[in-house]
Amino acid sequence: MSASETPHPKVPTGIPGLDQMLRGGLPSGHVVLVTGLPGTGKTCFGLQFLMAGVARGESGVFLSLEEDVPQLMESARQFGWPVDAAVERKMLNVIRLDPRETKQSIQRIRGEFAGELARMKAQRIVVDSVSLLHMLSDDETNRRETLFALAAACRASGATSVFTAEADPLHPGVSRDGLSEYVADGVILLGYSTAAEGRRIDLSLRILKMRRTDHARSVQPYWIRADGIEVDAQAIDFGPGA
């Protein structure tokens, strides 16, 4: 970020250590991609981000293309987050789009979702996972247009958004679709690092990009604990990462 740019207000993620790496949180209004292999905690990241907002009096939307609503609610309960109360108070809206309902889902994303977000006055949005958008169409152009329409709807709402995506198993530093990075203002990579002795595999986090703000560029270890994700921002650079 140049000295002439005005820094964006920051939105705390609620993930200990990560906000330190982000110099306070995600820039307000950004669309940030969180990508990683299975088991790296992408859905947990999204839920933790939303529940941190609820704790601050900020409303959120979780758009799921993967898990059913009861499964998501149970996942949140396991971390001790008051997700049921948040839903009852309408501070959290959980929306399920079934990728098998192709026509309806595409129509909703391209034509109706922006209006829904405006009515809900969402301040934080999570989409889990944009990798499943490829199931909505066999045509690459339509896939691209749907992804861009989704990102545009989130930006138009003024909310700060987190999109999750599966990493490419052969190239885990990038998303499987290879496109999500280009619609995002920031990219956070969740991955695995093998310890020096080669016998232990640890989780590692790296901020690959974050437009219009300074951020740490090192690879840091993190854990998925009983109460959510925690990043060790003080550790010495953890290595090359995923």
Looking at residue 195, its pLDDT comes to: 62
pLDDT in tens, 34-65: 999 999 999 999 999 999 999 999 999 999 99
Looking at residue 196, its pLDDT comes to: 59
Query: Would you say residue 2 lies in a domain?
Result: no
Looking at residue 102, its pLDDT comes to: 73
Structure tokens at 177: 């679709």
pLDDT in tens, 133-166: 877 777 888 888 989 999 999 999 999 999 999 9
C-alpha distance from residue 168 to each of 49, 143, 144, 178 (Å): 24, 17, 18, 8
Hunting for tokens 């049921």 — which residue is that? 84
Q: Is the predicted pLDDT of residue 4 greater than 90, yes or no?
A: no
Query: Would you say residue 78 lies in a domain?
Result: yes
Most confident residue range from 5-19, 151-165, 174-188? 151-165
Q: Residue 156's domain spans which residues?
A: 10-231
Query: Would you say residue 40 lies in a domain?
Result: yes
Confidence grade of residue 179 (pLDDT, cut at 50, 70, 90): confident
Q: Is the predicted pLDDT of residue 236 greater than 60, yes or no?
A: yes
Q: Contact, 22 vs 8, CB < 8 A?
A: no
Q: Contact, 188 vs 175, CB < 8 A?
A: no
Q: Contact, 193 vs 176, CB < 8 A?
A: no
Query: Would you say residue 125 lies in a domain?
Result: yes
Looking at residue 221, its pLDDT comes to: 94
Q: Is the predicted pLDDT of residue 225 greater than 70, yes or no?
A: yes
Instruction: State the pTM of this model.
Output: 0.91
Stretch 4-20: mean pLDDT = 84
Looking at residue 239, its pLDDT comes to: 53
Q: How many residues does the chain have?
A: 242
Burial class (CB in 10 A: 0-12, 13-18, 19+), 211: middle
Confidence grade of residue 199 (pLDDT, cut at 50, 70, 90): low
Query: Would you say residue 111 lies in a domain?
Result: yes
Domains: count for the chain: 1
Query: Would you say residue 237 lies in a domain?
Result: no
Q: Is the predicted pLDDT of residue 238 greater than 80, yes or no?
A: no
Q: How many Å apart are CA 47 and CA 73, to the nearest integer?
A: 10
Q: How many Å apart are CA 162 and CA 137, to the nearest integer?
A: 23
Query: Would you say residue 88 lies in a domain?
Result: yes
Looking at residue 242, its pLDDT comes to: 45
Query: Would you say residue 155 lies in a domain?
Result: yes
CATH code, domain carrying 42 = 3.40.50.300
